[in-house]
Structure 1
Amino acid sequence: MWTSALNGLRRWSWLKRSLFVIFGLAFLTSSFLFLTEPGLKIRKWMAETVITTQHRDWAWMFVGAQMRDEMVQLLQDTTDAMGQGHVDLSRIKITKQGSKKNRTIDELIKVDDISGPTWKGKKMTVYDPTTVRVVVPNKQGEGERITDMVKRTGAVAGVNGGAFYDPDGLGNGFAPIGFIMSGGEVIFTEHEGSVPQHSIGFTKEGKLVVGLYSIDELMKQGVQEAVFWKPRIIADGKPLITQGDGGWGIGPRTAVGQKADGTLIFIVIDGRQPPYSLGATLREVQDLFLEDDVQNAGFLDGGASSELVVDGELLTKPASRYGERRLPSALLIFDHPEEYDADHIWDGLKKIDAGGAKTHPEFLKEQEELRKKGQLNSTPKTTPVPSKSPDSTGTKPGGGVTSKPSGTPRQTESPNVSSTPSSKPAGEPSDSPKPPGSTATPGGSSPGTGTTTSPGTGGTPKASASPAETNGASPNGTVPPSPATTPKPTTTGAGTQSTAPSGQTAAVQGQTQQNQTVKPN
């Protein structure tokens, strides 16, 4: 019988035989993926990887809509739980804070190549933790590439900083998510000082502060430099991912950790570029830090924003379609950190334009070239959503701008919260996941969507009245500003305290599509 069947197959044309093999493999693969326990694990892993990108909604193809939503909620709750509790800064004894000036690059940093089964990247060791400054663009309207920041400021090196709204994945890098602090001042914030936000910061002494902190708490601890992102993965020497790979799949990563003697370790992983580098899991990055006896560690924005620049040269390979991205913040290393003063470029703005496909220079140039070749018949369009009034008010503890974007936030990697004072953590960045089908105002969370979640113990994401990420705007692309009072801090030694009200809110305008999530960049 088998002989006769084989003889029959041999008489088939090559096309029939090819189709038979393809259908056979498809049947075996789908049976394995959907009918076996190992197949379910693979599908969940693939869904996790998609959830922490701008295309979170597509994760249903692997696990279905219900399981996707459950996975998103679990990820948000777990991330918030990992950020709970403040790190013990007394464990860090700074021994390498140098008084020597005019140091060479080799005296300040060391860069090593690192690699794993599915990724390649760089590890930068920073010997003096007081050399780190948060740098922002120096002109309104667009973010700035790290290579340009390094050259403009005279910095030695730099990595990407906090999250931002990224309409269509083509944002201008000018609409931060969460907050930004530089030189002890709040340069930008979406929430008042009492709202906990996932934070990466440095005290005046160079101690790394990572986890869920309000701006008030950061100032009380003497934090000078800080941005929003998540999750925290090591606290007081203990790893926080003890089972699984962290739940974020694989992707480009940027993270920072600190050893007991104050030495900083920055890890930048390339990804989304097969076969060169697919990316790393959160667990893999955590294990790299543990090998160096890191005491506290957490992630900065990741995805297409992940990059390392040294002496003006880009050393990593960003996954961004057009090379280096324009960013609203970066962590730069200076020989003379005291000489940098951040520009308050968001002060006084009533609207913050996040950009998008209609204003992205490289994208527009590419579209024009395709039109000239007859390969494109129409101009790029985005899907507008109705304009909605913001449902909450944000206040800034001084020096910063409280903003409300129109549209849907993109993930550079986390979830958002209402800017109304509460005990819940705030917001999500450019690459973080958000529950499909919901929109929210930007807040301060990590991997990146625009939903409100409670820290740690499992708050239910709450969609706010106005879309949050960069993909869905009102017909004219703007949202009217909401009034807010801004307590302006007065500096007192290591920190600042909110006192007199002054300031305003700004609406973030962007072209975003409804239901698009904030993703890790």
Structure 2
Amino acid sequence: MRSKNTCLFIFLSIPFFIVDAYAQKSKSLMESTGLIKAIYSDVNYTVIDGVNSTEIAYEATNGKAMKIFILEVDLQQPSVSMKVSMPDGGNSWGMQQMTLQAASMDSIGHRVWAGVNADFYNMKTGIPRGVVHRNGQVIKTSYDKGDRGFFGITKDKKVVVGTNEEYVGLSANLQMPEAVGAGAMLLRNGVILDQADKSIHPRTCVGTSADSTKVFFLLVDGRDVPYSNGMTLEELAVCLKALGADTGINLDGGGSTTYFVRRFPELRDDRFDIRNRPSDHTGERAVANGIVVISDL
């Protein structure tokens, strides 16, 4: 086994550090969720200080193959922050692949290191279903009716997750330079919430630690049974809690589920790498918005 200080390269030249043959996240998931029968691979790498990625392939207890991706962000790292992305780095509605949204925000001293898709949206117009704050500007405060919520970052780099009703009460008092709409609440104060929706799909979700300084993005590939089956919303919540999240919320999934990390430090066209396998099987889907990890390095 290699030590955690040995620099390696996986295919597509992403540097990473093996932490352990089966690192702590895999151990927590296996011991706490009851969802994993056997782990086939567990790849861990540091994207940048304060930002770590884990990719786990496993056999679920129902016999299905699974592939999940975990991005953990420590907002106590001074150089790290998160922002909402939109097409071409602007504030207009539309649809664009996440790597292109990220590239439009990427510059020296404002590096994009990783990102995921975010809110549900109208697939004809690109108008997101929930709220949008970007670069300190409040762009959209309305939201669709139903079981929906939001994910936001305050000026002091604390994460805020809640329902749309809570957004109405909080937005006037909390200065959230960045916020984006989301789906159903999955986890609140460490309690896994019941879900009426029992369907299995590719998923994107996000959770936060009890002190609101650590963020856990969890993505699950699906609709490709020999490779990965997908999860229910309750299974997402169980996994988020095992990872250390206290509160969590669902984001857009299905063919929109997208996870990328930076491949090269230079501002080259192929600097971002899609790590998951979008279920459309045609590459990245164009989406309305996303959440990206930024550093000032």
Aligned partner letter, 1:151: A
Please say which structure displays the higher CA radius of gyration: 1
Question: Match of 2:72?
Answer: 125
* 1:177 pairs with 2:137: no
* 1:109 pairs with 2:51: yes
Task: Describe how 1:283-302 pairs up with structure 2 within 5 A.
Answer: 283-302=234-253
Question: Match of 1:227?
Answer: 180
Classify 1:251/1:197 alpha carbon distance in 2 versus 1 (closer, same or farther; 3 Å).
closer
Task: Describe how 1:320-339 pairs up with structure 2 within 5 A.
Answer: 320-336=280-296
Q: TM-score, normalised by structure 1?
A: 0.40
How far is the alpha carbon of 1:309 from its aligned partner? 0.6
Higher helix share: 1
SS in 1 for 2:248: strand
- Aligned mates of 1:202, 1:293 — CA distance in 2: 19
Aligned partner letter, 1:330: G
Of residues 113, 117, 126 in structure 2, which corresponds to 1:160?
117
- Aligned mates of 2:120, 2:224 — CA distance in 1: 22
Question: Match of 2:201?
Answer: 251
In structure 1, the gaps of 5 or more residues are: 1-103, 338-521
* 1:208 pairs with 2:159: yes
Of residues 96, 100, 106 in structure 2, which corresponds to 1:144?
96
Aligned partner letter, 1:147: T
Q: Does the CA-based 8 Å contact 1:246-1:281 persist in structure 2?
A: no
Aligned partner letter, 2:249: G
In structure 2, the gaps of 5 or more residues are: 1-45, 107-111, 263-271
Please list the CA deviations of residues 54-112 of structure 1 after superposition, one character each: whole Å capped at 9, or x if unmatched.
Answer: xxxxxxxxxxxxxxxxxxxxxxxxxxxxxxxxxxxxxxxxxxxxxxxxxx833131111
SS in 2 for 1:112: strand
Classify 1:288/1:141 alpha carbon distance in 2 versus 1 (closer, same or farther; 3 Å).
closer
Q: Does the CA-based 8 Å contact 2:205-2:219 persist in structure 1?
A: yes
Classify 1:197/1:218 alpha carbon distance in 2 versus 1 (closer, same or farther; 3 Å).
farther
Classify 1:310/1:252 alpha carbon distance in 2 versus 1 (closer, same or farther; 3 Å).
same
How far is the alpha carbon of 1:183 from its aligned partner? 2.6
Q: Does the CA-based 8 Å contact 1:200-1:211 persist in structure 2?
A: yes
How far is the alpha carbon of 1:224 from its aligned partner? 2.3
SS in 2 for 1:304: helix
- Aligned mates of 2:50, 2:285 — CA distance in 1: 26
Question: Match of 2:18?
Answer: none
How far is the alpha carbon of 1:329 from its aligned partner? 0.8
How far is the alpha carbon of 1:276 from its aligned partner? 0.9
- Aligned mates of 2:198, 2:133 — CA distance in 1: 27
Q: Does the CA-based 8 Å contact 1:211-1:230 persist in structure 2?
A: no
- Aligned mates of 2:148, 2:67 — CA distance in 1: 30
How far is the alpha carbon of 1:279 from its aligned partner? 0.5
SS in 1 for 2:161: strand
How far is the alpha carbon of 1:143 from its aligned partner? 1.6
Q: TM-score, normalised by structure 2?
A: 0.68
Question: Match of 1:36?
Answer: none
Aligned partner letter, 1:106: I
SS in 2 for 1:178: coil
Question: Match of 1:8?
Answer: none
Question: Match of 1:76?
Answer: none
- Aligned mates of 1:207, 1:332 — CA distance in 2: 15
Classify 1:281/1:141 alpha carbon distance in 2 versus 1 (closer, same or farther; 3 Å).
closer
Question: Match of 1:274?
Answer: 225
Higher strand share: 2
Aligned residues: 224
SS in 2 for 1:220: coil
Question: Match of 1:237?
Answer: 190
Q: Does the CA-based 8 Å contact 2:87-2:288 persist in structure 1?
A: yes
* 1:186 pairs with 2:138: yes
Aligned partner letter, 1:250: I
Q: Percent identity?
A: 26
- Aligned mates of 2:230, 2:250 — CA distance in 1: 14
- Aligned mates of 1:176, 1:247 — CA distance in 2: 21
How far is the alpha carbon of 1:205 from its aligned partner? 2.3
| Cα RMSD, aligned residues only | 2.7
Aligned partner letter, 2:191: K
- Displaced runs of 4+ in structure 1, greater than 6 A? none
- Aligned mates of 2:148, 2:238 — CA distance in 1: 25
Please list the CA deviations of residues 201-229 of structure 1 after superposition, one character each: whole Å capped at 9, or x if unmatched.
Answer: 22222322222233462241222221112
How far is the alpha carbon of 1:253 from its aligned partner? 0.6
- Aligned mates of 2:126, 2:284 — CA distance in 1: 15
Task: Describe how 1:503-518 pairs up with structure 2 within 5 A.
Answer: none
- Aligned mates of 1:196, 1:218 — CA distance in 2: 18
Task: Describe how 1:307-386 pairs up with structure 2 within 5 A.
Answer: 307-311=258-262, 312-336=272-296
- Aligned mates of 1:108, 1:297 — CA distance in 2: 20
* 1:134 pairs with 2:75: no
- Aligned mates of 2:181, 2:255 — CA distance in 1: 17
